[in-house]
Structure formats: C-alpha cells, structure tokens
Amino acid sequence: MQPMASFFKVNLLLKVLVSVFVASSAETCSNSTFSLNRVYNSCSDLPYFGAHLHWNYIPSLRKVSIAYRARQISTGWIAWAINPTGTGMVGSQALVAFRNDNGSMTVYPTSITSYNPSMLPGELSFQVSNISAEYKHNEMTIYAIVGPLENGTIVNHVWQAGNSVSSNIPQIHSMSSSHLQSMGKIDFQKA
C-alpha cells in the first residue's frame, strides 16, 4: 500500500514537472505576448536560458524599447546588458531582475565593473527609463527603454541567469559553458 501510494505520488510529481518544463520552455519569439498590450516589432531568440529579446527601435530618439524574457525559477535572477566598451561581462551596463521575499519583482540597472560586481543598483553609461519586470509561467521579463544609443544601433550584448538571490542581492552565476557564452552582437535597426 505505502510503496504503491508513493509510486503514484512520485509519478504525479514527475508528470507535473515535465508539463511545467514543456510549458515553460515552449515560448519563443514567434508566440510571446506581453502585458499592457505591449507589442514589439523585432525579436531575437537567444541561445541559452530559453531567452529571447524583443525590441522596438525609435529612430527619432535613438532609443530602444526592449523586453528581455528568459526561463527562470522563482528564487533565481535574470540580467540583460549592453557592453559599450567591449564584449563579455566586465563593462556591461546591465538590467537585473529577481523576485523579492514578498513575491513582487525587483528590477534595476547595475554596472558590472569587475568579475566580482556588487550587483547593487547604480547608474549606467546611458539612460534607462520605464523599467519594470514580471514573473509569469516560469519566465521572468525585464521591460525598459534604453538610450539615446550614442554609439549607434549595433551593440554587444550579454545576458545572464543565476539560481539564487540572498538579502535581495543576486548571487554568483554558474560558470558552466552556457553562462560563459551568453553574449553576442545585435543591430537594433534590423527587424
């Protein structure tokens, strides 16, 4: 009786986990929808972390309105950054988001000045406005308007994810290859 009951419980748990994983890994550029009727004309499915970056470039302002979305567990954090001075982590001008102890999302800009950054809120080398974040269907999303982009629309960007946040400070991410390769070049003027 007991082993059978446990078997069914484990089996059910596995099914729930599988369905959660399938549901949460399914969203891509082609079928993402956003709260507040936000619509983005451009999108890039990024390798690693089930991430995708959506954007609208506003040429008159040289600003880009972005939505960065990635799969994540509730205790984790996500970040998306432009690196205006190089490639990779150091020098990145980042937006980071995670879920608070009280269940609401926290999101802020933070400048990554070293391989051991404070991850505390700070100023970036470009303006950021209309910043917000949400957590739905096992995905975290950062919304923001960045710019003016003084150095043009082609930028090096970096995206990252970590499993833990302690006292509202995102903790170090894994050093596995995906976490070291999650960077690229993007042209905001391309659809």
Ligand X SMILES: *[C@@H]1O[C@H](CO)[C@@H](O)[C@H](O)[C@H]1NC(C)=O
Which positions lie near ligand X, rule CB under 6 A? 26-28, 30-31, 65, 84-85, 100, 102, 104, 106, 125-126, 129-130, 145, 150-151
DSSP 16: H
CB of 1 to ligand X, least distance (A): 39
CB of 72 to ligand X, least distance (A): 17
Burial of 170 (0-12, 13-18, 19+ CB in 10 A): buried
Q: Between residues 8 and 86, which has the closer beta carbon with respect to ligand X?
A: 86
CB of 156 to ligand X, least distance (A): 10
Q: Between residues 1 and 39, which has the closer beta carbon with respect to ligand X?
A: 39
Q: Between residues 31 and 176, which has the closer beta carbon with respect to ligand X?
A: 31
Residue with smallest beta-carbon separation from ligand X: 84
Which residue type occupies 16? Answer: V
Phi (first) and psi of residue 116, to 5 degrees: -130, 65
What kind and span of H or E run contains 138?
none
Q: Between residues 11 and 100, which has the closer beta carbon with respect to ligand X?
A: 100
Q: How many residues does the chain have?
A: 191
CB of 115 to ligand X, least distance (A): 19
Least Cα distance to 70 among 28, 39, 21 occurs for: 28
Cα distances (angstroms) measured from residue 145 to each of 14, 22, 103: 40, 31, 24
